Structure 1
């Protein structure tokens, strides 16, 4: 019978075997490196691994997995640590497999609009490589995350309303299983009816089914014209109703981002901007010169119907880049409102028709709770975030934040939504998985996990409690 992985009483033998395999310079037990690999960007406490390894190929990952199996050690894949629900915490110690050194762009197929990369390639690195070919990869979660991490968490971000999420843009994978076997899923064809869709089984599995080492992605041509726009609104309800009208009108906006007045104040301070402190929408339009002008004019007209009269837009790249960098820095801008505090970011996603109801109710809940919690969201697809700025050492604040988070998720589920649009479950949202999907569906997920990883060595304690 397989023995489930538990924290190693003495990892000395495992560390020696890993060092013999990879060498001293790619195996670390340095306390600072262990600590860095035991937490992500959120408030969740650090759970350090016993050892960190830095493989450079799929075969090396496979050899690490075989050694970890021999020593019954947990394995936690690690990209750059930008996740938000405790995904990389080594809850039972074990081996953190840092894939950042696997950063090769293997091949670009411009005619077919696809690319194959190693898991440690970051999205900015990939787009810098593609730019001269007139191509880009649009999935943009904000942080310069690795493609492997984005695949594992089914990331999306600001461009999802136009280009979809990682689920729609991953064509195939190379995955190392818990016992060291290597499998390949999908391929270069744009569709297939051959067997189970294993690619999408691993996309979003958060390192609990295998270690993703290579990814094949869809690419897109860089648009002929790109324009960005900013529009403040009298109330958050009017801002969100503008989004709903735009989506229902079928206008192909590339990005629609909402920042409430608290977040706009934080962004202005952190990024040295001077926008009105009001609920605000950031837009981006992609297409031909004529198409971008047509989209912008149509959106401006809709925005004006809801009080968005100060509609400013620009086609200058430096202005667009400054705007979107400020949006990507919103998390850090929020924390900056209360120096020394930590961020507890959470997200939900609801059908677009219920978005205004959900956000307005959430704003009222924040006010009643007394929390400092800016709202920001990819509202074009019904997804928004609250970032509770808290002192984790204050039990009363933690309790208030936990209670608010539970109410937020319950509200989203009651409206036909989900407990997480893009952050994933990790161990921070385990309590909500059964609430959303039901006991039978979660049991089926467990059976899939057990069939692929019977020893529960792959990222244990994530998605499911042990």
Structure 2
């Protein structure tokens, strides 16, 4: 691998495997113009939203069918060359980087909704379908797909990283919502896992094995997920608080009382300021909860009144309601743009993202100590959290040309993850392990569990060609 730069010294020093000319010739013969070795195309597929740098893949194959994926994987397997699946490039942990070289298989053109089974509340899609595209396709049925990681990610990528997002407190994560998959294995074989039935006791749960495997066990080529009825009534609200602690205590009380809130997002005062500048809003620049309620009109009203009463006990004020779709969309768009608002607040910076999740009862302990450390560091940061399920994210905004800033940010991240693990939490609630959390995974799961993962990997991918160098080393 090339010598690491200040922006990339955390990428493991892994040997780049040769990509023989015979493979490139075979790919071009099979795929023609849909196989590109142009530098600009390779570079586009050689980075994601992480701060890591690595050499680009040797070639990019634009797959348009399961057969395309199977043929590309089969050719790569014959030469022992790595394969890295690519959707829209929105991952945050270096999942897409060709750290051992190889070829990128872009599935973004596999973007057809294959079947909508409204009576069974399921839909089957190709992996390149994005969450927004899916919801547009099913809206006439009165159903929707609730998993909302913020970015308009593909269903294949969301399955591979076990994504969740703002609605997870009510609707769960991709783990609970993927019913079955079609997967191309490391040998180029096409297998199916699961069915459209809501439950099964038939054999090993291969669907759950693939969900969250980050492309290290196979390439997902078809996904069947659950749909939900559109709520009869939806109401959103923002509420400002005198401190982050007050906002967090409010959230804990809401969850522990069993209020069926659909979304509850924490935004710290730094992030509110950045979002105001980016989205031209006039939100109070104080810690804030952004909430949403789903249900019948009477149920939504009751939930909102209960939450407003709880918030008032902790000093919550300036409760503002967004009842029209346009108002709600504006608020949630601003929240989803928080990452980009933060990046723009410090031109040229990169964000070192954290992704811890802890039991809801330990949320205040973990988050408040981490805020103190971040404030003391002098590193600019933003803080957002899906705090209803104990998941929150710091984004430390570093100058990639200043190694000391990256070092401080990584020290903050290490302290945060260590704290979360000591509170029986996890190093990654939804982003995945990728490159960034490999050491933390060993601490969290233990050597024996990671060795078991390696055993599975070796059995299913004996040549180690499926997105190698991610999750754990081989």
TM bucket, shorter chain? over 0.9
Q: Which runs of 5+ in 2 are unaligned?
A: 1-13
* Partner residue, 2:105: 97
2:220 corresponds to 1:208 = no
* Residue of structure 2 in register with 1:431 after alignment: 439
Aligned length: 461
Displacement of 1:111 in angstroms is 0.3
C-alpha distance in 1 between matches for 2:41 and 2:98 = 13
Is 1:334 matched with 2:332?
Answer: no
1:12 aligns with 2:15: no
| C-alpha displacement of 1:6 | 6.3
Instruction: Name the SS of the counterpart of 2:355 in structure 1.
Output: strand
Which residue of 27, 37, 53 corresponds with 1:29? 37
Match in the other structure for 1:277? 285
Please, which of 166, 189, 195 is the counterpart of residue 158 of structure 1? Answer: 166
State the 1:9 CA deviation.
3.3
Is 1:50 the counterpart of 2:50 in the alignment? no
Indicate yes or no: 2:120 matched with 1:121: no
2:402 to 374, 389, 394: 394
SS at match of 2:415: helix
Give TM-score scaled by structure 2 length: 0.96
- The answer to whether 1:83 aligns with 2:82 is no
In 2, are the aligned partners of 1:6 and 1:73 still within 8 Å (CA)? no
Q: RMSD in angstroms over aligned alpha carbons?
A: 1.0
Paired with 1:7 and 1:41, the residues of 2 have a C-alpha distance of: 22
Find the counterpart in structure 2 of residue 305 from structure 1: 313
1:235 lines up with 2:243 in the alignment:
yes
8 Å Cα contact 2:366-2:419 kept in structure 1: yes
What corresponds to 2:147 in structure 1?
A: 139
Q: Residue 225 of structure 1: which of 213, 233, 246 is its match?
A: 233
Structure 2 match to 1:71: 79
Compute the displacement of 1:7 (Å).
Answer: 3.5
Deviation at 1:46, TM superposition (A): 3.7
Q: In the alignment, is the contact (CA less than 8 A) between 1:6 and 1:74 conserved in 2?
A: no
Counterpart contact for 2:19–2:81, Cα < 8 Å: no
Deviations 1:87-109 (A, max 9, x none): 00001111100000100111000
Tell me what 2:297 maps to. 289
CA distance in 2, matches of 1:258, 1:100: 32
Tell me which residue corresponds to 1:444.
452
- Output the CA distance in 2 between the equivalents of 1:12 and 1:343: 37
Q: How big is each residue's C-alpha offset from its partner over 1:320-352, in whole Å with a ceiling of 9 and x where there is no partner?
A: 000000000010111122111111111100000
- Indicate if the aligned counterparts of 1:35 and 1:46 stay in contact, CA closer than 8 A: no
Counterpart CA distance in 1 for 2:420 and 2:155 is 29
Secondary structure at the aligned position of 1:310 is classed as strand
1:6 & 1:230 partners in 2: Cα distance?
A: 50
CA drift at 1:47: 3.0
Of residues 258, 263, 269 in structure 2, which corresponds to 1:261?
Answer: 269
- Listed one character per residue, the Cα deviations across residues 390-437 of structure 1 (whole Å, up to 9, x for unaligned) are 012211111101111110100100111000100100011111010101
Q: Deviations over 1:373-404 (max 9, x none)?
A: 11101000000000010012211111101111
Aligned to 2:9: none
**Deviation of residue 12 (structure 1)?**
2.0
